[in-house]
Amino acid sequence: MFRFELQAVCPETGARAGILHTAHGDVETPVFMPVGTQATVKGILARDLISDLDAKIILGNTYHLFLRPGHETIRKLGGLHRFMSWPRAILTDSGGFQVFSLDTLRKVTEEGVLFRSHLNGDQHFFTPESTMDVQLALGSDIMMVLDECLAYPASHEAARASTARTLRWARAAYDHYRRHRDAEHACFPIVQGSMFADLRRHCVEELLELDADGYAIGGLSVGEPRALSLEMAEITAPLLPSDRPRYVMGVGMPDELPEYVARGIDMMDCVLPSRNARNGYLFTSQGRLIIKQAQYKEDARPVDESCPCYTCRNFSRAYLRHLFLAGEMTFSTLATMHNLRRYLDIMGRIREAILVGEYPAFLRAQRAAMVT
C-alpha cells in the first residue's frame, strides 16, 4: 500500500524529509526523479541507474509509451517494470505535458485531448479515464491525472477556463482511479492556474476534496521567469496537506532544487541533467561546464574534482571532450551518469541537512555559493 512517511520538518523553512513507501520499494525524500520517457533513461543502463547511481524512482510517459510500443504490449510483457528491467518505483506522467510540448499536434476539448501522433499522424483521443487505464496497464506506482499544461503567458481568463477544465478532468480521473485501483498504485492530481495566485489557491482547494495520495504542482517551467516558478510553488505548497507528498513537475536547475525543498516540496523531476548531458552541458560543484569549449582540449582534470561518480573517477575533461566532438555515444552515457549523480547527490545532501536539523544553514551556504 502506498504511504508517505514524514520523518522531519525544518521548523524555519518548512523543508521536509520523508519516505515514499511504494510497491516497488521505498523512496527517500526530498527526491529527484530521473526522466525515462520511453521506458529508458536516455543514454544509461538500468543496471547503472541502480548500482552506480542508486536512483530509487524514475519517470515514464503515458503518451509516448501508449504510442510506442503500446500499453497493451507492455501489459502482456509483464508491465513496465519488467519490460524495462527496472524493479524500483516508477512515476508516469499522464500526457499533460504533451498538451504543452506538442501544441501544434493536439486539440483540447471538454472531454479530453485529441492528439495527432508525432510519429505517424494517427489520431488518438486521451481522456482522464483512458490515461488512467493506460497507466494501470503500465503498472505505474504513481500515476498522474491528465491535466492541461498551459503555455506562458496566459491571460487570467484563459488560465481560469483551463484550470477549471483540468479540475474537472482531475475529478473524473480520480473517480476512475478509485473504482479500478488495487492497493499498489498511487495517483496524484495536478495543481494548475498558470502564474495567478488566486487560480492556484482555488485549484488546491478543489483538489483537496479528492483526498489524494499526493499532490503535484504543474504548469511551471513553461517559459516564465524562474522567480515566478518558485513563487508559484511558494504560495501553493503550504496549502497542500502536510501528510501527503508534494511534487513540483519539471524543475529545475541545480541551484533551484534546495529552493523548492525550502518551500515544502518533496519530489521533483527534470530532463535537464539527462538532456543537457547529451548536449555537452555538465553540472559541477563549481557551476556549468560546457565540455566542447577549446579550453578543455588538454585538460587532464575530471569534470568535477569533488564528484565521486564513475565518470569523474575515471576520465579527463580532455577525453570527454574528445568523445563529444567525435560524436561517440559513450559520451552521452558518461555525461548522463555524471549529471544525474550530481542531481542525486544534491538531493541527498539536502535530505541529510534536514534530518540533522541544519537545513537553514545549508540553504544559506548554498545561496552564498550560488553557481550556475
Enumerate the active-site residues: 93, 269
Residue bearing cell 541507474: 49
* Site membership for RNA, residue 15 (CB under 7 A): no
Q: Which of 20, 41, 65, 172 binds RNA (CB under 7 A)?
A: 41
* Site membership for RNA, residue 93 (CB under 7 A): yes
Q: How far apart are CB 51 and RNA at their closest, in Å? A: 20
Length of the chain: 372
Helix axis angle, 359-369 to 329-355, nearest 10°: 140
* Site membership for RNA, residue 293 (CB under 7 A): yes
* SS3 assignment, position 59: strand
* Site membership for RNA, residue 46 (CB under 7 A): no
Q: How far apart are CB 296 and RNA at their closest, in Å? A: 9
Q: Among 268, 219, 273, which residue's Cα sits nearest to residue 245?
A: 268
CA distance 233 to 230: 5
Phi and psi dihedrals of 58, rounded to 5?
-135, 170
* Span from 10-18, 196-204, 221-229, 363-371 in contact with RNA (CB under 7 A): 221-229
Whether 297 contacts 318, CB under 8 Å: yes
Whether 190 contacts 218, CB under 8 Å: yes
Q: Where does residue 61 fall: left (phi above 0), alpha (psi -120 to 50 degrees), or beta otherwise?
A: beta
Angle at 118 between CA 330 and CA 109, to 5 degrees: 135
* Site membership for RNA, residue 21 (CB under 7 A): no
- Contact positions with RNA (CB under 7 A) in 232-291: 249-253, 256, 269-272, 274-276, 278-281, 288, 290
Q: How far apart are CB 352 and RNA at their closest, in Å? A: 23
* Site membership for RNA, residue 112 (CB under 7 A): no
Written as nine digits, the cell of 84 is 524495462
- Contact positions with RNA (CB under 7 A) in 116-135: 118
List interacting residues with RNA (CB under 7 A).
Answer: 35, 37, 41-42, 59, 61, 64, 93-94, 96-98, 100-102, 104-105, 118, 144, 147, 149, 190, 216, 218-222, 226, 249-253, 256, 269-272, 274-276, 278-281, 288, 290, 292-295, 297, 325, 327, 329, 332
